[in-house]
């Protein structure tokens, strides 16, 4: 898939390079060697795309190459597109001042900075987002109760970033959570991704408990297993490891937290996906047996589950993840909005709230900009 995308980008980059060469480079120098050197990055990129994504060689360098590729290709393409707007003014009005070319230069520089920052500091730029939820259904004993949500860790993509993981756990623990909710996609493919990091994750602290649910990646659906038995064993091991870390998994079940006579219910469903993602959720089963509990929090990895089944129930808060907000937000806009109506932050429908955490890990590309790795703090307020 990435190979096809990069080939299309390569074609666009080739056209942009030709345009920039004839409109700018050729005018800047008459030395043939310097002119020829303009195409050297394009040749190197084309060779790398062929080796890595077509011939499947040098796979260990694919992430690094992808970032370099985007840092080179995107600014040039952006520059070419914007600077084209000067052409009518050059031809029709003989302008000697080219405002769109200046804008193109600034935009290209901005894109390059975004790519470099997003691929380096952006992946560990942890952001704490605070949300208050007020309701008369919240028991008085739970007034001020702190729920900390973290989602989509995709541990297999952290690649030996123990220091970053320790930083994340430290930020979580600083919030003094009453309960921590991990809303799916703990791993990217396999339970073995937790090797060597369970000691860090087990240090996540909560006055009550750490709760977790399954996300689409947790089932290992995107990696081939030797047979069905190996696939089931991987799932069993993931559940066992979370239990060993002290986490309480809620697989279509619920847990009651009590403070004296007051109670709230924490409900968890397995991945309730749509749009091609598997649906293992069973909300009626998860809620079965809940009586005389006025306030309910649901953990459901995929936010599309909220509109499909949750709205209209007596569930007060739904916590989801999954979208990553496309790992990119600029001016409050994200590519994730093309696919998801609820892709990041808080959404209200009547007395019900959905909060979509944009995740702390990455998938596809080790890059985050604007959609910073998120730790959400939801404080309950009793009316």
pLDDT value at residue 209? 96
* Coil/strand/helix, residue 296: strand
Pick the CATH number of 127-382 from 3.60.21.10, 3.30.70.1450, 1.10.238.10, 3.40.50.620: 3.60.21.10
- Please name every residue paired with 272 in a beta bridge, in sequence order, or none if there are none: 279
Look at strands 317-320 and 352-356 and give their pairing.
parallel
Say how far apart CA 83 and CA 85 lie, in whole Å. 5
pLDDT value at residue 14? 93
Say how far apart CA 311 and CA 242 lie, in whole Å. 30
Say how far apart CA 295 and CA 264 lie, in whole Å. 5
Q: Where are the domains of the chain?
A: 2-119, 127-382
* pLDDT in 10s for each residue of the chain, 383 residues: 455 677 888 899 999 999 999 999 998 888 889 999 999 999 988 888 888 777 777 676 677 788 888 899 999 999 999 999 998 887 877 777 889 999 999 999 999 999 999 999 999 999 999 999 999 999 999 999 999 999 999 998 887 788 999 999 999 999 999 999 999 999 999 999 999 999 999 999 999 999 999 999 999 888 888 888 999 999 999 999 999 999 999 999 999 999 999 999 999 999 988 877 888 999 999 999 999 999 999 999 999 999 999 999 999 999 999 999 999 999 999 999 999 999 999 999 999 999 999 999 999 888 999 999 999 999 999 99
pLDDT value at residue 55? 73
pLDDT value at residue 337? 95
pLDDT value at residue 60? 66
pLDDT value at residue 140? 96
- Closest to 372 measured CA to CA, from 340, 338, 339, 334: 334
């Amino acid at each position: 898939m990435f190979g096809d995308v990069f080939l299309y980008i390569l074609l666009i980059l080739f056209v942009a390079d030709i345009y920039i060469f004839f409109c700018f480079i050729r005018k800047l120098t008459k030395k043939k060697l310097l002119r020829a050197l303009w195409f050297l990055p394009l040749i190197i990129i084309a060779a790398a795309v062929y080796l890595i994504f077509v011939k499947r060689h040098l796979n260990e360098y694919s992430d690094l190459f992808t970032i370099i590729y985007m840092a080179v290709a995107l600014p040039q393409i952006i520059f070419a597109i914007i600077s084209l707007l000067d052409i009518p003014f050059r031809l029709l009005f003989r302008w000697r001042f080219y405002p769109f070319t200046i804008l193109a230069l600034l935009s290209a520089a901005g894109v390059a900075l975004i790519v470099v920052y997003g691929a380096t500091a952006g992946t560990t730029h942890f952001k704490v987002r605070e949300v208050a939820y007020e309701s008369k259904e919240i028991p008085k004993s739970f007034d001020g109760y702190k729920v900390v949500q973290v989602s989509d860790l995709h541990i297999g993509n952290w690649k030996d970033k123990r220091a970053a993981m320790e930083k994340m756990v430290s930020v979580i623990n600083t919030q003094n959570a009453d309960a921590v909710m991990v809303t799916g996609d703990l791993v990217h493919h396999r339970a073995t991704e937790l090797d060597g990091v369970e000691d860090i994750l087990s240090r996540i602290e909560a006055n009550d408990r750490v709760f977790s649910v399954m996300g689409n990646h947790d089932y290992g659906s995107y990696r081939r297993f030797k047979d069905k038995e190996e696939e089931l064993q991987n799932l069993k091991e993931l559940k066992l490891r979370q239990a060993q870390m002290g986490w309480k998994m809620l697989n279509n079940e619920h847990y009651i937290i009590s403070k004296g006579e007051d109670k709230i219910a924490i409900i968890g469903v397995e991945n309730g996906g749509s749009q091609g993602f598997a649906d293992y959720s069973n909300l009626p089963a998860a809620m079965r047996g809940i009586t005389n509990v006025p306030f309910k929090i649901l953990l459901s990895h995929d936010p599309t589950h909220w509109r499909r089944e949750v709205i209209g129930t007596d569930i007060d808060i739904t916590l989801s993840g999954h979208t990553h907000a496309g790992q990119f937000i600029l001016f409050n806009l994200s590519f994730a909005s093309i696919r998801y109506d609820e892709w990041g932050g808080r959404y209200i429908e009547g007395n019900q709230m959905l909060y979509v955490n944009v995740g702390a890990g990455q998938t596809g590309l080790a890059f985050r900009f604007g959609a910073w790795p998120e730790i959400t703090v939801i404080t309950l307020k009793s009316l």
